[in-house]
A and B are shown apart, each in its own frame.
Chain A
Amino acid sequence: NAGVTQTPKFQVLKTGQSMTLQCAQDMNHEYMSWYRQDPGMGLRLIHYSVGAGITDQGEVPNGYNVSRSTTEDFPLRLLSAAPSQTSVYFCASSSGQGARTGELFFGEGSRLTVL
């Protein structure tokens, strides 16, 4: 059971470069989201999706794009990387069934460094 799979696990970028963090889940979950984790700040929501073709912004969306063409995949694109985007990124999914919509299943994380 793979669950939520993120790639790459580590990435170093130069300022201005673009890249895509991949996220895939095999649990047929409707809800998917991207968070970033910075020391002392908990996790902050970047973008989320409630189903294929539907995305919305979270708390810190600037500099990131997402799309959801299938139920399984939810890639996060960094358009022009900046040092402030150095962080650990987590993809998460949820079944959205009943009241447990906030019970998230997380990927292993992607550690991004922007020089």
Chain B
Amino acid sequence: ELKVEQNPLFLSMQEGKNYTIYCNYSTTSDRLYWYRQDPGKSLESLFVLLSNGAVKQEGRLMASLDTKARLSTLHITAAVHDLSATYFCAVEEIQGAQKLVFGQGTRLTINP
């Protein structure tokens, strides 16, 4: 059974600082996805990582995937308040079958 674990689950940080959210998963998979959710809102896709060593960047966010370590990271550079949200990673349980297993989510709060 595929398990996906994120840490930390809660993160409060100051604007301008850097930090990393970790996503570990328990079985082999080459596909990992990051989503963002604002309070009371839906989820939106941030990054699609499809192979070992994949790195994607969008603004102050950078995601990477190490399939050998079964680990993905979401790195935040020089955080700004607008990045406050809950971030989820998700892994395909069966490749191509659209069965995603989500992590618990990391609630990120960025303070001025």
Number of contacts between A and B (CB, 8 Å)? 68
- Taking each of A59, A100, A103, A105, which has the highest tally of chain B beta carbons within 10 Å of its own beta carbon? A103
A interface bracket (residues with beta carbon within 8 Å of B): 20 to 34
Once the chains bind, are B100 and A108 in contact (CB under 8 Å)?
no
B-contacting 9-mer, from A11-19, A38-46, A63-71: A38-46
Flag if B96 contacts A101 (CB, 8 Å): yes
Cβ–Cβ < 8 Å partners of B103 in chain A: 42
Instruction: Check if B42 sits within 8 Å of A106, measured CB to CB.
Output: yes
A8 to B97, CA, bound (A): 28
The residue on A at minimum CB distance from B6 is: A42
B98 & A33 in contact (Cβ 8 Å cutoff): yes
Is A52 among interface residues, defined by CB-CB distance under 8 A? no
Q: How long is the Cα–Cα vector from A20 to B44 in the complex, in angstroms?
A: 25
B43 touches A42 (CB 8 A): no
B interface, size bucket: 20 to 34
A 29-68 contacts with B by CB, 8 A: 31, 33, 35, 40-45, 48, 50, 58-59
Query: For the complex, is A83 an interface residue (Cβ under 8 Å from B)?
Result: no
Contact of A50 among B31, B97, B100 (CB under 8 A): B97
Q: How many angstroms from the CA of A102 to the CA of B91 in the assembled complex? A: 8
A25 to B67, CA, bound (A): 33
List residues of chain A with CB within 8 A of the CB of B50. 99-100
B88 is an interface residue with CB less than 8 A from chain A: yes
Instruction: Flag if B102 contacts A44 (CB, 8 Å).
Output: yes
B33 near A103 with CB under 8 A, answer yes
Check A104 for interface membership: any CB of B closer than 8 A. yes
A90 located at the interface, meaning its Cβ lies under 8 Å from any Cβ of chain B in the complex: yes
Interface residues of chain B, those whose CB is within 8 Å of chain A, are: 4, 9, 31, 33, 35, 41-45, 48, 50, 88, 90, 92, 96-105
